[in-house]
């Protein structure tokens, strides 16, 4: 029997990602049919404030006509071409030049010098992993193959990037992680600090644990360390004081490459163009995506230093080819939209707007510190996480079977607000164009959802007594 509604057809034919497939099979889901600024609309006309910018990514909201017009112009000129076999096109060259012009470079760091384009952050990080191995083979250190990520770090969904990601749910029954990947501690100060331990002391302990891992494995076997400036999929977790300063000293000591995953943090999310600027990072490669095109087209990029590229030149000459690539990498329409996105960021002073509204955003969420369900609120720029706890004094989490984070997420949806629950931590990354009144709207909807869940939990406790 043919399904008689679009929701039924979606339920019948589409495999949904990061979804409980059995629950979706039984209950179905939402269909989003339109967008207007920071709001989206479902097929029944309900409006939702999209406090996650879709997937941390729709930086200019859901109705920016300048991007649609840029795509239309490029479609009429050159709707597709590739960058294989020494061929290219103008949008890719222009975008690479524009990216390198705004790439971060801390004092004493080597600047980014080349760009490789891809269709997703996962692909960009997967390529970075391959280049770590390619680079070390080229410079005569083939044993430096192991790659270190962090517990609850997130870098993608390919076989390699899911292995790099420190999320057990992404490994389960996929036979991951691959044996060459290692994971060091999650630097979540609120959740893991010891009694009386300062942020700086906690960072020192985290750095010591990383060095212990490197020494245990053998420094000559470690090729690279990957980190997001702010952990996104781990729960919108900002780094504690001096964390990256201490970690980078260790990486330099043992000649380990540092790859900064800016897929979420890049293009203004932390209040600077790059999270690497916010936290003074000195990476050897930088991956970016999502807000590169405001997510109006699938595109990502991996930026490399000249040192990495020189090794690639030598290997390519020796082997006769650089045998890597994706058909849709540097797609001209995606490049044209990304270029227009960068122009809009500059013309509209998007960074200035983020810096102006960030204090309002962080203050609006900080009001919930006194809510009975909330243990922690912290963030930077327009990037924040709110953690639910069963006991504020001890930071005791709720029992997993209570699924408090999921309940808050559902209650938010019922109040016309899209957020992301990551275990019992609620992430907020609204479009960068969000206005003060919309921030207050977001906070009001979130507060109503928290109160609903609190009442539900109190009723559940009373029933159990």
pLDDT digits (tens, 9 = 90+) for 275-312: 999 999 999 999 999 999 999 999 999 999 999 999 99
Q: Which of 347, 374, 409 is the last residue of a domain?
A: 347
- Contact yes or no for 234/422 (Cβ under 8 A): yes
273, 264, 189: which is closest to 420 by C-alpha?
A: 264
In a domain, 8, yes or no: no
In a domain, 20, yes or no: no
**Angle formed by the axes of helices 436-464 and 350-366, to 10°?**
30
- Contact yes or no for 248/258 (Cβ under 8 A): yes
Residue 459 has what pLDDT?
Answer: 85
One domain, residues 337 and 366: no
One domain, residues 99 and 136: yes
Q: Give the number of domains in the chain.
A: 2
Q: Which of 347, 374, 407 is the last residue of a domain?
A: 347
In a domain, 433, yes or no: yes
Residue 1 has what pLDDT?
Answer: 53
One domain, residues 436 and 310: no
Dihedral of CA atoms 11, 16, 20, 25 in degrees, nearest 10, equals 10
One domain, residues 155 and 188: yes
Mean pLDDT confidence for 323-333 = 97
Residue 388 has what pLDDT?
Answer: 97
C-alpha span between 110 and 208 (Å, rounded) = 26
The residue segments making up the domain with residue 416 are 31-63+349-464
One domain, residues 242 and 331: yes
CATH number for position 363: 3.90.1150.10
In a domain, 7, yes or no: no
Q: Which of 347, 379, 402 is the last residue of a domain?
A: 347
One domain, residues 301 and 209: yes
The C-alpha angle with vertex 345 and arms to 283 and 265, in degrees rounded to 5, equals 35
- The owner of tokens 């192991």 is 146
One domain, residues 322 and 216: yes
Mean pLDDT confidence for 161-182 = 94
451: tokens are 């109160």
**Is residue 339 over pLDDT 60?**
yes
One domain, residues 417 and 286: no
C-alpha span between 330 and 89 (Å, rounded) = 9
User: pLDDT category, 460, cuts 50, 70, 90?
Assistant: confident
One domain, residues 275 and 404: no
User: pLDDT category, 235, cuts 50, 70, 90?
Assistant: very high
One domain, residues 430 and 384: yes
Mean pLDDT confidence for 197-210 = 98
Question: Which tens digit of pLDDT belongs to each residue from 29-42?
Answer: 999 999 999 999 99
User: pLDDT category, 122, cuts 50, 70, 90?
Assistant: very high
How many alpha carbons fall within 13 Å on the CB side of residue 130? 15
**Is residue 125 over pLDDT 70?**
yes
In a domain, 268, yes or no: yes
Which residues, in sequence order, are bridge partners of residue 198?
Answer: none
Dihedral of CA atoms 183, 225, 300, 240 in degrees, nearest 10, equals 80
Mean pLDDT confidence for 325-337 = 97
DSSP state of 396: B
CATH number for position 198: 3.40.640.10
Question: Which tens digit of pLDDT belongs to each residue from 413-436?
Answer: 999 999 999 999 999 999 999 999
Question: Which tens digit of pLDDT belongs to each residue from 133-150?
Answer: 999 999 999 999 999 999
User: pLDDT category, 2, cuts 50, 70, 90?
Assistant: low
Mean pLDDT confidence for 353-379 = 98
One domain, residues 454 and 316: no
User: pLDDT category, 88, cuts 50, 70, 90?
Assistant: very high
Whether cis (ω within 30° of 0) applies to the bond prior to 177 is yes
Q: pTM of the predicted model, to two decimals?
A: 0.96
C-alpha span between 200 and 189 (Å, rounded) = 10
- Rounded to the nearest integer, the mean pLDDT of the chain is 96
Dihedral of CA atoms 234, 235, 236, 237 in degrees, nearest 10, equals -70
In a domain, 234, yes or no: yes
Share of the chain above pLDDT 90, in %: 92
How many alpha carbons fall within 13 Å on the CB side of residue 374? 19
One domain, residues 316 and 385: no
In a domain, 401, yes or no: yes
Region of 213 (left: φ > 0; alpha: ψ -120 to 50; beta: rest) is alpha
In a domain, 14, yes or no: no
């Amino acid at each position: 029997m043919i399904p008689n509604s679009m929701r039924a057809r979606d339920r019948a034919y589409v495999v949904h990602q990061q979804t409980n497939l059995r629950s979706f099979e039984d209950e179905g889901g939402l269909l989003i049919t339109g967008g207007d600024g920071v709001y989206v609309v479902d097929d029944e006309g309900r409006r939702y404030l999209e406090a996650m910018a879709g997937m941390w990514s729709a930086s200019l909201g859901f109705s920016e006509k300048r991007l649609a017009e840029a795509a239309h112009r490029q479609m009429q000129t050159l709707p597709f071409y590739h960058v294989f076999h020494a061929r290219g096109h103008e949008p890719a060259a222009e975008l690479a030049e524009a990216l390198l012009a705004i790439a971060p470079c801390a004092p004493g760091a080597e600047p980014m010098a080349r760009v490789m384009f891809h269709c997703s952050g996962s692909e960009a990080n997967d390529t970075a992993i391959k280049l770590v191995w390619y680079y070390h083979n080229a410079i005569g250190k083939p044993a430096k193959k192991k790659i270190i990520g962090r517990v609850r770090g997130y870098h993608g969904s390919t076989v390699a990037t899911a292995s790099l990601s420190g999320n057990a749910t992404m490994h389960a029954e996929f036979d991951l992680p691959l044996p060459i990947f290692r994971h060091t501690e999650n630097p979540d100060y609120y959740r893991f600090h010891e009694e009386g331990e300062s942020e700086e002391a906690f960072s020192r302990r985290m750095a010591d644990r990383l060095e212990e891992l490197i020494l245990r494995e053998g420094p000559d076997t470690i090729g690279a360390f990957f980190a997001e400036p702010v952990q996104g999929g781990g729960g919108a977790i900002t780094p504690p004081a001096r964390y990256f300063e201490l970690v980078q000293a260790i990486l330099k000591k043992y000649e380990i490459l540092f790859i900064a995953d800016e897929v979420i943090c890049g293009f203004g999310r932390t209040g600077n163009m790059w999270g690497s600027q916010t936290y003074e990072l000195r990476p050897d490669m930088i991956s970016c995506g999502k807000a590169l095109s405001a997510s109006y087209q699938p595109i990502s990029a991996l930026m490399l230093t000249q040192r990495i590229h020189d090794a690639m030149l030598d290997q390519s000459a020796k082997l006769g080819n650089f045998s890597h690539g994706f058909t849709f990498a540097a797609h001209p329409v995606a490049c044209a939209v990304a270029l227009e996105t960068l122009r809009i960021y500059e013309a509209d002073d998007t960074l200035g707007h983020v810096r102006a509204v960030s204090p309002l955003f962080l203050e609006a969420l900080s009001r919930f510190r006194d809510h009975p369900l909330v243990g922690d609120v912290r963030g930077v720029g327009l990037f924040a996480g709110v953690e639910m706890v069963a006991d504020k004094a001890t930071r005791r989490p709720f029992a997993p079977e209570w699924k408090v984070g999921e309940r808050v997420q559902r209650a938010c949806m019922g109040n016309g607000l899209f957020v992301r629950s990551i275990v019992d931590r609620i992430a907020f990354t609204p479009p960068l164009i969000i206005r003060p009144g919309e921030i207050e709207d977001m906070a009001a909807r979130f507060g109503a959802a928290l109160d609903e869940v609190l009442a539900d939990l109190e009723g559940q406790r009373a029933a159990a007594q």
